[in-house]
């Protein structure tokens, strides 16, 4: 069943199925019910990364280098899992600017430069052509193999006449299908839903087919993975393959390949197409960043078993390891499996070719051909002509041309390299986009000239160190070019440039091309400041994740005619689509129909973005400029507008910050309120206490006054006694009022302090003299223990006397009459003076020792009679001592008397510390 | 038989003046200088009326009032609270605890005498 005709029939059936899926996908998209608005399909479409290079080539590479095939998948896995932010930025930027390809992306970033777009396109085409030729080669080899069944021969090298070459026909068939897939529509838009659906299906098919071979080899030919490895280990040559390459050269290779593959997953035109351009929703990234690496893991699972199994199975037969996937089932006469494998390989090839060629044809059309055509005045000025058909024709032509170039490379160089070798040449070319892309997304300073210089330098080095050698190896250039350098100049040997040895070809190219690329990009960019156009685009790209609204229209000033714009867009999108687009724009702006549209900056911007989707941003800008008269903005004006945009962002951030501050302030206010309530309560307590203290003497005064008034016949001794009480209560009241006022003045900071040099000995002596009468009256002994002489201190003499007198009168109040003893002692050390007043009274309970310094909190609860006094003496004394930086405290054991002690610092600042 | 009145206050001069007023009116007067003493005398003497100060050492007037009202044996004891803290909340608290009347210091001697007479009718 494996005759050529059957294989061909199955192949066409398969392609027809793909086409049906694509057709269905497009229909659903037109109906507004997208089938690719699904994260799984998105992730599967990314697997277009796995081409025949993976399908056949991984086994080939594993047969030579063992696990050396892994970096090609390690790089993308790392980028997907760690570089999600980069992808997100690319996607958002591309959507905001209606980017159609990677060439468009770079051109748009550096001021919508047509020159730059053209250069990127040329690099991409030249770089990718070998890769496409690789697909053609793989399909051709696999067809020749399967068509030769049951014989098992590696196809001989060399080519027959062109017209008898299977590969040519494969190229033409693929071109036809690509045209069907990608340019079937008359409207040239940047998105291809049907194609994405078909590619996702292909990803499933190739995974299933590869998995089937893997299972067949592992469990059909051998007894599981363990069996294969066990047998391989027995052979020292094969055992080597399971070890990671050692030595610095090995690590350098691993590093370069991982880096190259990581950049390829971002910048290969087909990856940019499916990942960025065809992306339906940013949210799909979330699943893709783990599902796609999982896909890579699964498709690599059986690579090493198949490689080892094949090497052992075909031991000594010289079978090309690139073909193991197909030849192993064939050798076991599993025809159905072999056919499935062939279809899987075809799947891998067609998926890559279709997406890559569509992406490249879009670039060739938008960034190379259109800019050139639009320069010919005849075409540009002929406004009557509908160019949408022309666009499609250009793309179709580009598709055929690219595939024929691929075929040409296959004829010229295809035999010199194994599959993996060819793929890496393309990866290295695509990696040249990295500095301009990544730099453009994160560095505002990058300029058009810098990007041009970098890309050109990197591309030239790549061509010299990888592309030309591939021709040389194929015999199209003399072999001495490689071995001795051009014209015998050793330093210019392509694989040991400037004497750099010790690296494999790919690492060597990567080193020199990146050095040239990055160096030129940075140095040339720094030579001059960005222009207005570059600065405005730089801001949109660098701030893509911050911008809340596009600033595009804000950056345009000039005059235009709405009808001209509609006509212009109609020329490229077709009049009907243009009408629909402008009508919906009019509706969004509350206008009845297209005629009412005003050609303001917004409309011009809208027209440009419509055009950009069809012909790329650089051409779109040029076309809009042909009908709209733009007054160019100067750099300062652009910077102003961008400033406004960034001010808006700043403003919103400011708002967020303010709102956070407000929350914090609210919290503080609440706390302050709690404190205020507490203060209020304390103040309330204080007022209640003051009220109580004032009312108590007033009660006696009023009562006795009324008694005396109401009854004039009161006996004389009683009358004298009552009048005595009235007088003493009045004195008490006076003292109280004075002390309350004193306290209030000290607390509010309004007290007057007369600060001078004070001799503490004199203060104590005068205080004792003042209170001596109290002691004599009660029969209390007072002793003095003064230090001979103490340093003077700066303080208020009267205030200090007030403190000592207060302590003395408290002491005399509490000691027993006639048996009481009070001692005053003054001591000094280097830092402070200390005065203590010690009595032999009842002492103060520990729990009262703090309380007595509070206002109106007198000691003496334990006594039957209430002590006389205001309850303010100690609090005021405390305030005075603290004012001069000192301390006042009590030491007492109940029943053992009490000592009130205060100390004052000698080096006290003049005014002490205020509360 | 003259009515018995207990004066409970820690301010000696106030006690002297109220004692004079009550004796002049013909009542049988006893005195307590703190809350505990007041409660003991109330239990011992079962006075007809207590002139009860609120701010007293050891046990304040509210507590005394509450304990008297909780004791069924003292059901006949009238309580007139006297306080220098004249806030409405304290008045309300006194009444709520079962005091029969409330006067703020300083009071008019005539009003005090009238109030006492009313309460003892």
Enumerate the β-bridge partners of residue B31. Answer: B7
Most confident region among A173-187, A226-240, A459-473 by mean pLDDT: A459-473
Nearest CA in chain B to A698: B106
pLDDT tens-place string over residues A284-307: 888 888 888 899 888 888 888 888
3-state helix, strand, coil in chain A (%, to 5): 70, 5, 25
Show the tokens assigned to A310.
């094949």
In order of A256, A260, A496, A784, the CA distances from A502 in angstroms are 14, 19, 9, 101
Q: How many CA atoms lie within 13 A of A150 on its CB side?
A: 6
Interchain pair A866, B10: CB under 8 A? yes
Quickly list DSSP for A189-212. -S--HHHHHHHHHHHHHHHHHHHH
**In Å, how far is A649's CA from the nearest CA of chain B?**
57
Show residues of chain B in contact with A722, CB under 8 Å: 17
B60 touches chain A (CB under 8 A): no
Maximum Cα interatomic distance, chain A, rounded to a whole number of Å: 156
Kindly report the length of chain A: 915
Report the C-alpha dihedral over residues A120, A121, A126, A130, rounded to 10 degrees. 110
Q: Which residues is A887 bridged to in the sheet?
A: A903
Chain A residues with CB under 8 Å of B13 CB are 697, 700, 725, 728-729
Q: How does residue A858 score in pLDDT terms, banded at 50, 70 and 90?
A: low
Comparing C-alpha atoms, which of A400, A77, A505 is closest to residue A258?
A77
- Tracing tokens 């090493």 back to the chain, one arrives at A304
Q: Is the pLDDT of residue A914 over 50?
A: no
Residues of chain A found within 8 Å of residue B18, distances taken between Cβ atoms: 703
Query: Would you call A699 and B105 a contact, using CB atoms and an 8 Å cutoff?
Result: yes
| pLDDT at res. B51 | 93
pLDDT band for position A242 (50/70/90)?
low
Indicate if the pLDDT at residue A151 is higher than 80. no
CA distance A840 to chain B (A): 23
Task: Tell which wins on pLDDT, B42 or A569.
Answer: B42
Nearest to A703 among B17, B84, B86 (CB): B17
The complex scores an ipTM of: 0.92
Q: Which of A347, A115, A111 is nearest to A208 (CA)?
A: A347
State the Cα–Cα distance between residues A60 and A134, nearest whole angstrom: 14
- Confidence class of residue A467 from pLDDT cuts 50, 70 and 90? confident
- How far is it, in rounded angstroms, from Cα A17 to Cα A7? 15
* A523-544 burial: b if 16+ Cβ within 10 Å, else e: ebbeeeebbbbbbbbbbbbbbb
3-state secondary structure of A674: helix
A511 CB-near residues (< 8 Å, 6+ apart): A256, A500, A503
Residues from chain B that touch A704, judged by Cβ atoms under 8 A, are 17
B117 has a chain A CB within 8 A of its CB: no
Q: Is A696 close to B34, i.e. CB distance below 8 A?
A: no
Name the residue facing B86 among A691, A700, A729 (closest C-beta). A691
> Which of A220, A208, A205 has its CA nearest to residue A329?
A220
pLDDT higher than 80, residue A739: yes
Whether residue A448 is predicted with pLDDT greater than 80 in this model: the reply is: yes
- For residue A888, give the 3-state DSSP assignment: strand
B32 vs chain A: nearest CA distance in angstroms?
A: 10
Of all residues in chain B, the one with the smallest CA distance to A690 is B85
Q: Exposed (0-12), middle (13-18) or buried (19+): which is B111, by Cβ within 10 Å?
A: exposed
Burial class (CB in 10 A: 0-12, 13-18, 19+), A135: buried
Per residue in A515-565, pLDDT (tens digit) is 899 999 999 988 888 777 777 778 778 877 775 555 555 556 666 777 777
Q: Mind giving me the DSSP string for A679-745?
A: HHHHHHHHHHHHHHHHHHHHHHHHHHHHHHHH-TT--HHHHHHHHHHHHHHHHHHHHHHHHHHHHHH
Q: Chain B partners of A707 at a C-beta cutoff of 8 Å?
A: 17, 20-21, 109
CB-based burial, A702-725: b 16+ in 10 Å, e otherwise: bbbbbbeeeeeebeeeebeebeeb
Provide the CB-side half-sphere exposure for A126 (13 A, CA).
18
Chain B: closest CA distance from residue A704 (Å): 6
pLDDT greater at residue B85 or residue A826: A826
Tokens of A579: 């009408």
- pLDDT at residue A382, as a whole number: 54
pLDDT for A342 equals 87
Pairing of strands A887-892, A821-828: unpaired
Cα–Cα distance for residue pair B59/B37, rounded to 1 Å: 9
Which pLDDT does position A864 carry in this prediction? Answer: 37
Identify whether the C-beta of residue A309 lies closer than 8 Å to the C-beta of residue A217.
yes
The continuous run of DSSP H or E covering A588 comes out as helix A575-588
Q: Are strands A793-796 and A755-758 parallel, antiparallel or unpaired?
A: antiparallel
Peptide bond into A616 cis (omega under 30): no
Q: Are strands A887-892 and A898-905 parallel, antiparallel or unpaired?
A: antiparallel
Distances (CA, A) of A734 to A395, A436, A729, A740, B74: 109, 91, 9, 10, 42
Over residues A175-234, the pLDDT tens digits come to: 888 888 777 664 545 677 888 888 899 999 989 998 998 888 888 888 888 888 888 777
Task: Output the pTM of the full model.
Answer: 0.59
Helix or strand holding residue A335 (H, E): helix A335-363
Separation in Å, CA A849 to CA A838, A864, A896: 15, 19, 14
Which chain B residues touch A861 with a CB distance below 8 Å?
Answer: 57-58
How many pairs of residues across A and B have Cβ atoms under 8 Å apart? 76
Specify whether the CB–CB gap between A284 and A450 falls below 8 A: no
Work out the average pLDDT over A575-602: 76
């Amino acid at each position: 069943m494996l005759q050529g005709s059957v294989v061909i029939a199955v192949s066409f059936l398969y392609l027809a199925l793909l086409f049906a899926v694509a057709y269905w996908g497009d229909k659903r998209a037109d109906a507004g019910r997208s089938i690719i608005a699904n994260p799984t399909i998105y992730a599967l479409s990314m697997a277009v990364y796995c081409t025949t290079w993976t399908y056949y080539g991984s086994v080939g590479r594993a047969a030579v280098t063992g696990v050396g095939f892994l970096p090609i998948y390690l790089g993308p896995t790392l980028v997907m899992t760690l570089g999600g932010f980069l992808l997100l930025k690319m996607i958002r930027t591309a959507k905001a600017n209606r980017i159609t390809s990677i060439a468009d992306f770079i051109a748009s970033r550096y001021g919508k430069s047509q020159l730059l777009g053209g250069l990127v396109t040329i690099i991409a085409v030249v770089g990718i052509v070998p890769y496409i030729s690789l697909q053609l080669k793989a399909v051709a080899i696999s067809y020749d193999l399967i068509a030769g069944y049951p014989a098992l021969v590696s196809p001989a090298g060399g080519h027959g006449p062109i017209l008898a070459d299977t590969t040519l026909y494969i190229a033409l068939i693929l071109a036809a299908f690509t045209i069907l897939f990608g340019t079937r529509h008359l409207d040239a838009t940047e998105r291809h839903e049907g194609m994405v659906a078909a590619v996702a299906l292909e990803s499933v098919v190739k995974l299933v087919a590869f998995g089937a071979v893997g299972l067949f080899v592992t469990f059909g030919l051998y007894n599981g993975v363990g069996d294969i490895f066990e047998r391989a280990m027995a052979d020292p040559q094969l055992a080597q393959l399971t070890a990671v390459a050692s030595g610095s050269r090995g690590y350098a290779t691993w590093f370069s390949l991982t880096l190259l593959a990581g950049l390829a997953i971002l910048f290969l035109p087909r990856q940019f197409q499916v990942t960025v351009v065809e992306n339906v929703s940013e949210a799909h990234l979330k699943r893709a960043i783990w599902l796609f690496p999982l896909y890579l893991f699964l498709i690599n699972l059986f690579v090493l078993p198949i490689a080892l199994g094949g090497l052992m199975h075909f031991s000594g037969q010289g079978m090309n390891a690139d073909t193991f996937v197909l030849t192993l089932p064939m050798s076991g006469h599993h025809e159905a499996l072999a056919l499935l494998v062939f279809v899987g390989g075809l799947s891998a090839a067609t998926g890559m070719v279709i997406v890559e060629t569509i992406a490249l044809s879009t670039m060739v059309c938008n960034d190379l051909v259109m800019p050139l055509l639009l320069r010919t005045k005849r075409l540009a000025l002929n406004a009557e002509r509908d160019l949408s058909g022309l666009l499609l024709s250009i793309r179709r032509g580009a598709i055929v041309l690219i595939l024929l170039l691929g075929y040409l490379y296959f004829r010229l160089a295809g035999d010199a390299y194994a599959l993996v070798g060819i793929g890496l040449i393309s990866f290295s070319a695509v990696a040249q986009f990295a500095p301009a892309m990544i730099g453009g997304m994160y560095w505002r300073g990058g300029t058009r000239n810098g990007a041009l210089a970098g890309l050109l330098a990197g591309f030239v080095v790549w061509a010299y160190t990888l592309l030309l050698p591939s021709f040389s190896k194929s015999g199209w250039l003399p072999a001495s070019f490689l071995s001795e350098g051009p014209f015998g100049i050793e330093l210019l040997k392509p694989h040991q440039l400037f004497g750099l040895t010790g690296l494999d070809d790919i690492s060597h190219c990567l080193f020199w091309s990146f050095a040239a690329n990055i160096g030129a990009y940075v140095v040339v960019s720094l030579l001059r400041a960005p222009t207005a156009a570059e600065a405005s685009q730089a801001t949109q790209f660098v701030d893509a994740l911050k911008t809340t609204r596009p600033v595009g229209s804000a950056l345009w000033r000039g005059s235009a005619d709405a009808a001209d714009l509609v006509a212009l867009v109609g020329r490229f999108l077709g009049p009907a689509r243009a009408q629909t687009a402008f009508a919906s724009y009019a509706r969004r702006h509350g206008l009845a129909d297209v005629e009412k549209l005003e050609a303001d900056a917004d409309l011009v911007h809208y027209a440009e973005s419509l055009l950009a989707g069809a012909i790329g941003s650089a051409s779109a800008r040029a076309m809009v400029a042909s009908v709209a008269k733009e007054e160019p903005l100067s750099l300062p004006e652009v910077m102003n507008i961008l400033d406004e945009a960034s001010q808006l962002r700043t403003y919103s951030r400011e708002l967020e910050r303010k709102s956070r501050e407000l929350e914090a302030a609210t919290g503080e206010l609440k706390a302050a309120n709690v404190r205020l309530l507490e203060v209020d309560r304390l103040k309330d307590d204080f007022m209640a206490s003051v009220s109580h203290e004032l009312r108590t003497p007033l009660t006696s005064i009023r009562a006795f006054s009324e008694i005396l008034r109401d009854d004039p016949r009161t006996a004389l001794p009683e009358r004298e006694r009552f009048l005595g009480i009235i007088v003493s209560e009045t004195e008490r009241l006076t003292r109280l009022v004075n002390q309350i006022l004193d306290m209030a003045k000290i607390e509010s900071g309004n007290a007057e302090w007369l600060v001078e040099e004070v001799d503490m000995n004199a203060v104590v002596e005068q205080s004792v003299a003042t209170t001596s009468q109290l002691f004599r009256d009660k029969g209390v002994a007072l002793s003095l223990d003064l230090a001979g002489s103490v340093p003077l201190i700066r303080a208020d003499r009267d205030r200090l006397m007030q403190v000592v007198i207060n302590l003395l009168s408290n002491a005399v109040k509490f000691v027993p009459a006639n048996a009481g003893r009070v001692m005053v002692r003054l001591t000094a050390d280097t830092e402070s003076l200390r005065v203590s007043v010690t009595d032999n009274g009842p002492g103060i309970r520990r729990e009262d020792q703090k309380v007595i310094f509070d206002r109106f909190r007198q000691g003496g609860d334990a006594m039957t009679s209430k002590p006389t006094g205001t309850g303010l003496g100690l609090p005021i004394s405390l305030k005075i001592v603290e004012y001069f930086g000192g301390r006042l405290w009590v030491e007492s054991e109940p029943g053992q008397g009490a000592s009130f002690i205060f100390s004052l610092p000698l080096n006290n600042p003049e005014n002490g510390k205020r509360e | 038989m003259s009515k018995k009145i207990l004066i409970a206050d820690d301010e000696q001069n106030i006690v002297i003046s109220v004692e004079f007023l009550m004796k002049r009116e013909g009542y049988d007067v006893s005195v307590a200088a703190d809350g505990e003493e007041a409660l003991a005398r109330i239990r011992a003497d079962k006075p007809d009326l207590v002139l009860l100060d609120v701010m007293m050492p050891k046990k304040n007037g509210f507590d005394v009032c509450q304990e008297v009202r909780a004791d069924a044996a003292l059901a006949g004891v009238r309580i007139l609270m006297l306080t220098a803290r004249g806030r409405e909340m304290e008045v309300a608290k006194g009444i709520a605890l079962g005091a029969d009347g409330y006067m703020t210091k300083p009071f008019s001697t005539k009003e005090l005498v009238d109030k006492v007479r009313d309460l003892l009718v």
